[in-house]
Amino acid sequence: MVRVVKVAAASELPDRGLTAVEADGEKIVLATTGDGGLYALQDRCSHADFTLSDGQILDGDRIECQYHGAKFDLKSGRAVALPAIRPVKTYDVRVDGDDVLVTLE
């Protein structure tokens, strides 16, 4: 079943940064890139089960896990640097007014 869930207020997100949210028991990291980009990924590194929201956004729309340096593409969730080899789940995300909405399946 597909559900669209409000996870945050857009006005409360940083211009560039990571925000941990939860929706229906799923831990999600919202990534704002400073150039209008907004992405939603599972808040768990596929390498060692650490939270990605504790990491940082790198140039080129990538997120880095702070624990072992694994890097993922914000758009696709694809692992782009070792030690991670598996992708992380991504979610469709959009802003409607001030509501940040994530689609869960």
Task: Say what the pLDDT of residue 103 is.
Answer: 97
- In percent, how much of the chain has pLDDT > 70? 100
Task: Say what the pLDDT of residue 59 is.
Answer: 84
- What's the whole-number average pLDDT of the chain? 96
pLDDT digits (tens, 9 = 90+) for 39-61: 999 999 999 989 999 999 998 79
**pLDDT above 80: residue 22:** yes
Task: Say what the pLDDT of residue 102 is.
Answer: 98
Task: Say what the pLDDT of residue 105 is.
Answer: 87
Task: Round to whole Å and give the CA distance between 9 and 48.
Answer: 30
Domains of the chain: 12-91 (2.102.10.10)
- In percent, how much of the chain has pLDDT > 90? 91
